[in-house]
């Protein structure tokens, strides 16, 4: 099996990916908080995870992937102060938490499917696993890793030597930045301790509550991912991921409570996607107005143009969204699909060339998921005159198992009539120029089109063109 190399936040290195069990991968993705629509930044994160998931499967791994749906416990601070985001939505919309969760979960998976993200094998809402969190918290209390105070249960980070293992064993900028937004909590022994279970009167209006050995209340956000992951994927995890903002406090706390509960190392690889930004910085739901995949679609964009835009950059690099960039991605994707549609289906696949290009593709995609280089392999393939059309088609079909851009789906090719009209007009203008022996003008028109990726082909029958 080809070895995948992947950046591991835990070691801050690109490493060879070796799952615990040969050929089998257990993958966990932190799911959305369903108090609002997912913005295109969230979706970029899930596209990154989808590429990882599909690359593993492409390379032959048997992957089991789980994802939670956060429908309780995620406070506005991402820590222990502020209000449950579901409560914010409840007040905003005058509905029950479960109605809100249902609505935004459906909206999320709608957009998720529009950008061709594959459903994880297991998807579980936080509210459906309360008994698992109670089991973990009970043991953490018994073993002295947690304490009750002011009605809440907190994890005592002083019990760990390596609490900051994911942030390089230090309170780096990420940690300090995250802490600054959090109010003091006099119930905590150490302000860096974090809540496992809330019951205090501060949250008395909380709609969703459950009985627990520590009183009626609800779970903290971090415990849900530990609980769901351990419940569905077992005591060992190969990869766990989210956006870079999840590194602290969410994933740091997940490691602390999971490993204290299990008594051993829990997850070997931590995978984090960089953010999508807008002109004002990180795209976030709390900013009020934000862009969704469905909104882009309403504006006439193909959601896969957004996926294509994401694939053109590396998942560990910040990406700035702009309509210009999306327009560019849309038109390049259209050209690409047209070009692919024009490939003949006759003849036989040249296995030697097939293997040659498949290996080039694997080399790039397995190098820390270098999607933009993998796309370049495809462009080079399309240009290669030594490779016949049917081999090109089969290879593109194969690459699209990872890209998931519907590259061979004819019905998704929207004839860009404006571009077509422009080209036809230029061809006529050029023919006219040639007739008038104005060859400089004719050549200028040919070069202009070439710079736009349109190659003119002259023959006795006239001039046709090819998109390159």
Closest distance of CB 300 from Zn ion, Å: 34
56 lines the binding site for Zn ion (CB under 5 A): no
Residue 240 lies near ligand AMP (rule: CB under 6 A): no
Number of residues that bind Zn ion (CB under 5 A): 2
In SS3 terms, the chain reads as: CCCCEEEECCCCEEEECCCCECCEEEEEECCCECCCCCCHHHHHHHHHHHHHHHHHHHCCCEEEEEEEEECCCCECCCCCCCCEHHHHHHHHHCCCHHHHHHHHHHHHHHHHHHCCCCCCCEEEEHHHCHHHHHHHHHHHHHCCCEEEECCEEEECHHHCCCCCHHHCCCCCHHHHHHHHCCCCCCCCCCCCCEEEEECCHHHCCCCCCECCCCCCEEECHHHHHHHHHHHHHCCCEEEEEEEHHHHHHHHHHHHHHHHHHHCCCCEEEEEEECCEEECCEECCHHHCCCCCHHHHHHCCCCHHHHHHHHHCCCCCCCEECCHHHHHHHHHHHHHHHHHHHCCCCCCCCCHHHHHHHHHHHHHHHCECCCHHHHHHHHHHHHHCCCCCHHHHHHHHHHHHHHHCCCCCCHHHCCCCHHHHHHHHHHHHHHHHHHHCCCHHHHHHHHHHHHHCCEEEEEECCEEEEEEC
Of the candidates 42, 226, 334, 371, which one interacts with ligand AMP according to CB under 6 A? 42
84 near ligand AMP, rule: CB under 6 A: no
State yes or no: residue 245 binds ligand AMP (CB under 6 A): yes
Q: Give the nearest distance from C-beta 109 to ligand AMP in angstroms.
A: 13
Q: Does 292 bind ligand AMP (CB under 6 A)?
A: no
- CB of residue 329 to ligand AMP, shortest distance in Å: 17
Identify which of residues 74 and 353 has a Cβ nearer to Zn ion in the complex.
Answer: 74
The yes or no reply on residue 69 touching Zn ion (CB under 5 A) is no
Q: How many CB atoms lie within 10 A of CB 456?
A: 18
| 45 near ligand AMP (CB under 6 A) | yes
For position 242 contacting ligand AMP by CB under 6 A, the verdict is yes
283 binds ligand AMP (CB under 6 A): yes
Does 146 bind ligand AMP (CB under 6 A)? Our answer is no
Residue 243, binding choice from Zn ion, ligand AMP, none, Cβ under 5 to 8 Å by partner class: ligand AMP
Q: Which of 10, 30, 230, 340 binds Zn ion (CB under 5 A)?
A: 30
Stretch that binds Zn ion, among 30-38, 76-84, 189-197, 212-220 (CB under 5 A): 30-38
- Which residue stretch of 176-184, 240-248, 340-348, 429-437 sits at the interface with ligand AMP (rule: CB under 6 A)? 240-248
- Piece of 29-37, 100-108, 151-159, 456-464 that binds Zn ion (CB under 5 A): 29-37
Q: How far is the CB of 285 from Zn ion (least distance, A)?
A: 16
Number of residues that bind ligand AMP (CB under 6 A): 19
Closer by beta carbon to Zn ion, 69 or else 305: 69
Hey, which residues between 207 and 226 contact Zn ion (CB under 5 A)? 225
Least Å distance, CB 91 to ligand AMP, is 18
User: Is position 314 an interface residue for ligand AMP (rule: CB under 6 A)?
Assistant: no
Q: Is 243 in the site for ligand AMP (CB under 6 A)?
A: yes
255 binds Zn ion (CB under 5 A): no
Bond prior to 249 in cis (omega within 30° of 0)? yes
Residue 225's binding partner among ligand AMP, Zn ion, none (Cβ under 5 to 8 angstroms by kind) is: Zn ion
- Bridge partners, 6 (sequence order): 15
Binding footprint of Zn ion on the chain (CB under 5 A): 30, 225
């Amino acid at each position: 099996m080809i070895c995948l190399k992947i950046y591991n936040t835990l070691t801050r290195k690109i490493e060879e990916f070796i799952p615990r069990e040969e050929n089998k991968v257990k993958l966990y993705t932190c799911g959305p908080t369903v108090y609002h629509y997912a913005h295109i930044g969230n979706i970029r994160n899930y596209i990154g995870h989808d590429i990882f998931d599909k690359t593993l499967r492409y390379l032959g791994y048997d992957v089991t992937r789980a994802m939670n749906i956060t429908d309780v416990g995620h406070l506005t601070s991402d820590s222990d102060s502020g209000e449950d985001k579901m409560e914010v939505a409840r007040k905003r919309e005058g509905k029950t938490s479960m109605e809100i969760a249902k609505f935004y979960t459906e909206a999320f998976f709608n957009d998720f499917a529009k950008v061709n993200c594959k459903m994880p094998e297991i998807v579980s809402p936080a509210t459906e696993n309360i008994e698992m969190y109670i089991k973990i918290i009970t043991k953490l209390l018994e073993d002295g890793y947690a304490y009750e105070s002011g009605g809440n249960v907190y994890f005592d980070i002083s019990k760990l030597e390596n609490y900051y293992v994911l942030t390089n064993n230090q309170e780096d900028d990420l940690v300090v930045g995250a802490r600054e937004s959090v109010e003091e909590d006099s119930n905590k022994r150490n302000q860096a301790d974090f809540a496992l279970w809330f019951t205090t009167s501060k949250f008395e209006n909380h709609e969703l509550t459950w009985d627990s050995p520590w009183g009626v209340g609800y779970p903290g956000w971090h415990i849900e991912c530990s609980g769901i992951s351990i419940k569905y994927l077992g005591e060992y995890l190969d990869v766990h991921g989210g956006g870079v903002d999840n590194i602290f406090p969410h994933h740091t706390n997940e490691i602390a409570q999971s490993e204290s509960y299990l008594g051993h190392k829990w997850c070997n690889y931590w995978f984090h996607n960089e953010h999508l930004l807008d002109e004002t910085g990180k795209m976030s739901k709390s900013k009020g107005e934000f862009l969704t995949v469905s909104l882009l679609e309403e504006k006439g964009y193909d959601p896969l143009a957004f996926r294509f835009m994401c694939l053109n950059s590396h998942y560990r690099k910040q990406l700035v969204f702009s309509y210009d960039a999306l327009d560019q991605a849309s038109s390049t994707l259209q050209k690409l699909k047209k070009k692919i549609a024009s490939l003949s289906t006759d003849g036989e696949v040249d296995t030697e060339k097939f293997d040659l290009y498949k290996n080039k593709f694997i080399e790039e995609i397995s190098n820390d998921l270098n999607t933009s280089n993998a796309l370049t392999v495809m462009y080079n393939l399309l240009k290669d005159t030594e490779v016949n059309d049917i081999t090109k088609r089969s290879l593109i079909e194969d690459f699209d198992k990872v890209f998931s851009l519907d590259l061979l789906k004819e019905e998704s090719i929207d004839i860009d009539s404006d571009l077509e009209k422009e080209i036809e007009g230029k061809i006529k203008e050029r023919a006219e120029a040639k007739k008038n022996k104005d060859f400089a003008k004719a050549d200028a028109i040919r070069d202009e089109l070439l710079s736009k990726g349109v190659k003119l082909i002259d023959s006795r029958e006239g001039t046709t063109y090819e998109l390159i």
